[in-house]
Chain A
Amino acid sequence: MKGKAFRTFGKVVLYGLLVLWSMICLYPLIWMLSTSLKTMSEVAKNTMALIPEAFRWENYVEAWTKGNFGTYFKNSIVVTVTTLLLVLWTASMTAYAVAREDFPGRRLILFSLVATLFIPAEATLVPVFHIAKNLGLLNSLAGLIVVSTAGSQVVSIYLIQAYFRTIPKDLDDAAKIDGCNLFQTYWHVILPLAKPVLATVAILTFMGTWNAYLLPLAFTMSKPELRTLPVGLVAFQSGFAFSVNWPLLCAGAAISLMPIVVLYIFLQRYFVSGIAAGALKG
């Protein structure tokens, strides 16, 4: 009896903590949503109020049209999805070679990859920009995609190759005996087993590219119609000495948040179960 009471008590505490953390997670978002429905003067009077005096849905319409969010949204989708696919493709191939094959230069490649992991994209903006200029990649989404891929692939290769190492080497040998060449082994045997890590890389790359700011800013600087959502979002902050339009900023933030939340909620099941399935097979 005592044990049961103890367990019930434990459960109550546990749920209490979970609900508390949920509130801490949700509070800023609720604030963001409520601010996105306020007027600026209302924000001034009661900054922290969670319920707007009147729900001004037209803020969203304004953000979408005046802030050009329709165009930005399209650009963000194009850039993110293409980058994501390119990263998955190039990173998994390299990771496969580095993790499963022993070839001259392998260690050098690994070392250079690890060495550049810690360099923030902002630090190399100027030289990257120079190269992009010489390759004629400026002021185009294609150029942005190429550079984003180059930036995101390093950590992805690192993650994928670490995972590949956990897959038994016998599988490759068995495939070879079955007559698979290197590419077929990669495509038909190893990749399907790597779904969990590919899902992880996909989520990380998606978030990284979706939220990237400086590269898209630099690569679209003379063509505002190529801007992505985060760049468009900052445009609501009027810069030095002038004010941020908080409701529009929050509406814009909510709009750009939506795809990731939807993606996560829908993919959560596949994501977690895919990982479990993959690991079991491995």
Chain B
Amino acid sequence: MKGLILRLGLSFPLFWSSVATAKTEIVFWTWNRHDMDVRNEMFRKFAERHPEIHLRMVIHTDRYQDMLKLAWDAGNPPDVFQTPSNSLIVQQVEAGWLMPLDRWLTPEFKKRFMPGTFQPYISMVGGHVYAVPTALLTAKLFYNRTLFKKAGLDPDRPPRTWGELREYARRITEAGKGRFYGFVIGAKYPWVYTMNITWMAATAGGYPFSYRTGRFQYNSEPFKRAFSLLMEMIDDGSVMPGMNSMDDDRARLAFCGDRAAMIIGGSWNPGVFVGQFKSDVDFGVADLPVPDEGRKGLAPAFFAYQWSISSKTKHPDEAWEVIRFMLSDEYLTAMVRAGKNLSTVPAVNTPENLGLAKGMKECSDLKYHKVYPPTPEELLRLKGPPFIEVAAGIVNGQLDMDEALEDLDRRLNQALKEAIDEGRIMLEDFLVPNFDPMKK
């Protein structure tokens, strides 16, 4: 208690003294809290090397976009901030928020990054680079080796096909006798259907937007089969009960607490299991199972955690200094070694660096992954429920699958047409004539 009071007493004068000295203040906004420990550690080093820069770090985990918008309204935007790694970045460029980074991004500098890092509608708009993604996230199946053993399954042989996934889930549930289940999904907030339906459909060659015809295609065989698979597993009783009242957090807790054997999730999960839950769960990471007749498409990977500079900043060079530090091998290595994420700089993703954190190496296996081109879906003014809500309606039997998916495509295509007519979207930007879901 005494130490506590002492610390509190000390923290105030320290705080004031740091404000009092004349420094260039750079305000930095992010919604990432999970990597805060490493980031703070690294920026302590940064502060030693750059005594002239005072960095004010603000984390908004909730309503980040709304707060950012208010900050712009107030004429008081941050100097450096995180931007979404999808077509929504167009909106921010259109509003004049972002500063082109081209003047700092020399060809040599860009060469360090993996192909696709600088891509329209992710980090580029109209030929200019506005953000630099620092992480690559992948879609994986996580399985609980302890429960595999208990059910008499080989813990080194995760399910490879949809049929095996269903069969394994059934067998584990049988062995569990109500104490543990084969599969878990926390669908209280329906965005998890992106993982459990869209990602699975990708392995069957399905993707929401046809890059050849420029039309939405949720109403297609791969999506319907992904829905059927999940619904059959629910019917089998192999999905842990309570999926609609659990959020993803509770589902992952159930996984770590040896109550559910398999969960689909992103490569951020090992960090959550080990770093945040401090769980000693014995888990394995596998590629997403593919349809029984074989793979028809690669699983998705995503660029993420990208930083931009405000067009209003008074200190662009100092702001760039901050971003440059976050793009340095030193900084990215620290993130990779701590198991936070795979970096967009291949030189940093060495086996030694990846091997330090549990599950990281497997999550970084990109053999069966591709970064799907951006779609205009985020930019549409969709009338009625979006895919994730429709998915919840289908899985819970509130909607008829065929009708609902047809209706969803119709509404999406209608909204797309409106956006094109208004001149907000150029369809050509999103077309990839020779698109092949099996090719990288």
- Residues of A near any B CB (own CB < 8 A): 39-41, 43-47, 61, 64-65, 70, 125-126, 129-130, 133, 138-139, 217-218, 221-222, 224-225, 234-235, 237-245
Contacts and interface: CB of A to CB of B under 8 A. Distances in A.
Given A44-B281, A129-B73, A129-B74, 17 more contacts: A40-B277, A40-B279, A41-B277, A41-B280, A43-B253, A45-B257, A46-B257, A47-B250, A61-B4, A138-B74, A222-B58, A224-B59, A237-B62, A241-B248, A242-B34, A243-B34, A243-B252
User: Interface residue tally of chain B, by bracket?
Assistant: 35 or more
A237 to B, nearest CB: 6
A221 B268 contact: no
Contact of A133 (B33, B62, B75, B278): B75
Contacts, number: 99
Nearest to A45: B257
A45 B144 CA distance: 14
B86 to A, nearest CB: 13
15 contacts: A41-B277, A41-B280, A43-B277, A44-B253, A44-B281, A47-B250, A133-B74, A218-B67, A221-B60, A222-B56, A237-B62, A239-B33, A243-B249, A243-B252, A244-B249
Contacts of A70: 8
A221 B67 contact: yes
Contact of B61 (A125, A126, A222, A239): A239
B272 A242 contact: yes
A44 B58 contact: no
A70 B257 CA distance: 33
Contacts of B78: 222
Nearest to B253: A44
Contacts of A222: 27, 56, 58, 71, 76, 78
Nearest to A46: B257
B70 A129 contact: yes
A36 B56 CA distance: 30
Given A222-B78, A237-B62, A44 B256 contact: yes
Interface in B251-286: 252-253, 256-258, 266, 268, 272, 276-281
B113 interface: no
A242 B272 CA distance: 7
Nearest to A138: B74
A252 to B, nearest CB: 14
Interface in B208-238: none
Contacts of A221: 58, 60, 67, 70-71
A277 B64 CA distance: 50
Nearest to B256: A44
B109 interface: no
A244 B253 CA distance: 11
A245 B275 CA distance: 11
Given A126-B70, A133-B75, A222-B58, A65 B279 contact: no
A129 B75 CA distance: 12
B63 interface: yes
A238 B7 contact: no
Contacts of A241: 248, 266, 268
A59 B252 CA distance: 22
B43 interface: no
Nearest to B277: A40
A239 B31 contact: yes
A134 to B, nearest CB: 10
A157 B67 CA distance: 31
A61 B60 CA distance: 23
A244 B78 CA distance: 26
A238 B74 contact: no
Contacts of B248: 241
A238 B58 contact: no
A222 B68 CA distance: 10
A46 B169 CA distance: 22
B178 to A, nearest CB: 16
A76 B90 CA distance: 38
Contacts of A242: 33-34, 61, 268, 272, 276
B257 to A, nearest CB: 4
Contact of A217 (B33, B67, B73, B276): B67
Contacts of A238: 33-34, 61, 276
Contacts of B33: 235, 238-239, 242
A39 B278 contact: yes
A234 B32 CA distance: 13
Given A41-B278, A240-B31, A242-B276, A234 B70 contact: no
Contacts of B249: 243-244
A135 B269 CA distance: 45
A160 to B, nearest CB: 33
A234 B277 contact: no
